Structure 1
Amino acid sequence: MAVVVMKFGGTSVADVERIKNVARHVKREADAGNKVAVVVSAMAGATNQLVGWVNEAAPLHDKREYDAVVASGEQVTAGLTAIVLQSMGVKARSWQGWQIPIETNTAHGSARIAGIPGDDLRRSMDAGEVAVITGFQGIEPKARRIATLGRGGSDTSAVAVAVALKADVCDIYTDVDGIYTTDPRIVPKARRLSKVSYEEMLEMASSGSKVLQTRSVELAMVHQVRTRVLSSFTKPEDMAPVGAAPLESVGTIVCGEDEIMETQVVSGIAYARDEAKITMLK
């Protein structure tokens, strides 16, 4: 039995049909006897719409109320995912950040996680219940106000939950099936990397690679959380549950350098389309 954290981004939960596909991935792990925590983002486009409404209401607004509004997108996804899992015969319930609690500092809109006690969460999972957790959000404990972690914060939520649960792996499901040497949509010969070190992934993320949020890689590196990047669009039946096959058989594992026997001088190339270089000659 393994403890598995599974994170699904906005494109993976863009509509109810995709949420049903996510639930099939979760059911695969639960049926194998693994303890599962699922971290979900808001449905694709939902957060942008919520932010737009806040700015339309008042360009200068209270960040605490901003967080109260934009955090609602993840709540919808978590509830729907739990409902679908229950309809499949999987014991599940949704958890909001304040219920766990995921405690943060006071920097509303871009808060940092201070700690996750998570005793109730662990008891629920020990009883065989799948925990469906809202990503991107926590609670500022002194004022008891919802706080959000900034755009892309669900990745950080997932890694932090994995740290709190001492998970065997944190699986980040996206729209790509791993980390490539460069963008395969631009370079057809790009190769998928089976393993990449935390340091290499951090450099790639900070240089423009959008596969993982920089803060989530930093957190995984500090706490040595094995993090795997997978595609949610791979058929669930084509993937083995954690513990039934080597982790590197699918996706890309972000891990310590000691797990990589031999590494290339250059692991990958990141790029940014919205940057330009101007040289001025005197």
Structure 2
Amino acid sequence: MKPTVMSHPPTGGCVFQNHRRPLLVKKFGGTSVASVERIRNIARIALASQRAGNDVVVVVSAMAGETDRLLKLAHQMLPLPDSREMDVLASTGEQVSVALTALAIQAEGGQAFSLLGHQLPVLTDSAFSRARILRVEQGPIRRALAQGRIVVIAGFQGVDPDNNITTLGRGGSDTTAVAVAAALNADVCEIYTDVDGVYTADPRVCPSGRKLNSIPYEEMLELASLGAKVLQVRSVEIAMKYEVPVHVRSTFSEEEGTRIVAREQVLEARKLMGLACERGQARVELLGVQCSPEQVAEVTDLLAELNVSVDMLCHARCGQESTRTDISFTLPEGDLLRVRPHLGQLSKRLGARELRVSSNLAKVSLVGIGLRSDPGIAARLCRSLNRQGIAVSGLVVNELRVSCLLESGQADDAIRLLHDTFELAGETSAEALTASAPA
């Protein structure tokens, strides 16, 4: 089924029966709805925006820690719970927060209307726990907005063509919010969180990390895909595809955050944007596989069938004249338990000499533009780490990033070292000037 999340023009104001008030989508994460008082604060933010002359749609996550609590209950029943039932269970966290948020808005004197994923609906495919959005229906939202209500939507959840409840994966409320904003042609999608923007490096790990005023979609997509926790990667994909202006900002401050915009809206884009770290990585090595053009394709076909995203995929002959090759790749440790039996079968089928699995690894990535064309950057990265005794066990370079694989316990030291090495805290490296970012 072809994704048809949004079929509207990518620019312009929202139009519904000649209704042209600015439309804002505001997403609030788990820490923002962690208590009754914080939910009341969300209600005040939403109402203030509506009273300023905007139509407002709010998307909320489950209360902080609630999804983890629910998943632990499931694992008390079965080591590998059924994925369909897991989605039924995990989606209940957002049902609580969406109702409480609507009630809080009503308590503050406003009108609110809540919608769960299946009520809207947010139609997805049937890949439980990591479903992809196919379409977002606008009708219920438009009707409620026309009645002067603030619409409160449950993030993270949807419904498949067979009416099964689905969830979008960790951070899926970001994806819900951006998809809704794209479907409605909203003026901006504001992602409220417990940090005040996107930084050159996680400030909890690297105190010299600097907040960016703006960042192009492409670099934000790389940072998100490589471990930056500010946004779910699929939300950035949708934002870039449909040109949705995104503003990452703090729930607890009125300060300007970070604007995620098209590259032409960044007046002075810099070569190096920041660092990201993806922990909990595992490396799989199929050693001594019989050489054949079909071998790598068979590996990737299996992983695609299992819905597993891999990185740092490489293969090389065991020797110059050898008829055998080594194939290796990285994947999240969380997927390893599920796929390991299949990898064992694949190893035997390919005639591999050995299946080797290494865990407790981290992938540290330097993100920017034009990195492949400047080999000195990768060389400088490796040299800096080696001088400090940090061993690099894998390296990938492309146009937008240089990624290295290392022991998880050395990741924090590597981030701080590389942040200093590439002077990312400096004004010229870290400050992005915007020409025409949306207000």
> Of the candidates 258, 262, 266, which is equivalent to residue 252 of structure 1?
258
The answer as to 2:261 corresponding to 1:263 is: no
What are the equivalent positions in structure 2 for 1:96-111 lying under 5 Å apart? 96-111=116-131
Distance across 2 between alignment mates of 1:55 and 1:225: 38
The answer as to 2:128 corresponding to 1:128 is: no
The answer as to 2:99 corresponding to 1:59 is: no
State, as a whole percentage, how many aligned pairs show the same letter. Answer: 49
Give the AA of the match of 2:169. G
The answer as to 2:37 corresponding to 1:17 is: yes
Shift of the 140–279 alpha-carbon distance from structure 1 to 2, 3 Å rule, reads closer
Determine the structure 2 residue equivalent to 1:244.
none
Determine the structure 2 residue equivalent to 1:229.
248
> Of the candidates 144, 153, 162, which is equivalent to residue 181 of structure 2?
162
Distance across 1 between alignment mates of 2:86 and 2:79: 11
Give the AA of the match of 2:47. K
Give the AA of the match of 1:259. Q
Determine the structure 2 residue equivalent to 1:153.
172
Give the AA of the match of 1:41. S
Determine the structure 1 residue equivalent to 2:221.
202
Give the AA of the match of 1:262. E
Q: CA deviation at 1:28?
A: 1.3
Q: CA deviation at 1:256?
A: 0.4
Shift of the 65–90 alpha-carbon distance from structure 1 to 2, 3 Å rule, reads same
Q: CA deviation at 1:207?
A: 2.0
Per-residue CA deviation, residues 139-160 of structure 1 (Å, 9 max, x unaligned), is: 112x111111111110000001
3-state DSSP class of the match of 1:192? Answer: coil
Distance across 2 between alignment mates of 1:185 and 1:173: 18
Shift of the 49–186 alpha-carbon distance from structure 1 to 2, 3 Å rule, reads closer
How many residues of Structure 1 are paired with residues of Structure 2 in the alignment? 266
What are the equivalent positions in structure 2 for 1:74-85 lying under 5 Å apart? 74-85=94-105
Q: Is the 8 A contact 2:113 2:144 kept in 1?
A: no
Distance across 2 between alignment mates of 1:265 and 1:60: 44
Q: Is the 8 A contact 2:227 2:279 kept in 1?
A: no
Q: CA deviation at 1:273?
A: 5.6
> Of the candidates 33, 58, 63, which is equivalent to residue 38 of structure 1?
58
Give the AA of the match of 2:143. R
Aligned-residue Cα RMSD (Å) equals 1.6
Distance across 1 between alignment mates of 2:86 and 2:137: 25
Q: Is the 8 A contact 2:60 2:173 kept in 1?
A: yes
Q: CA deviation at 1:190?
A: 2.8
Larger RCO: 1 or 2 (CA < 8 Å, sep 6+): 1
Q: Flag the structure with larger Rg.
A: 2
Distance across 2 between alignment mates of 1:279 and 1:92: 53
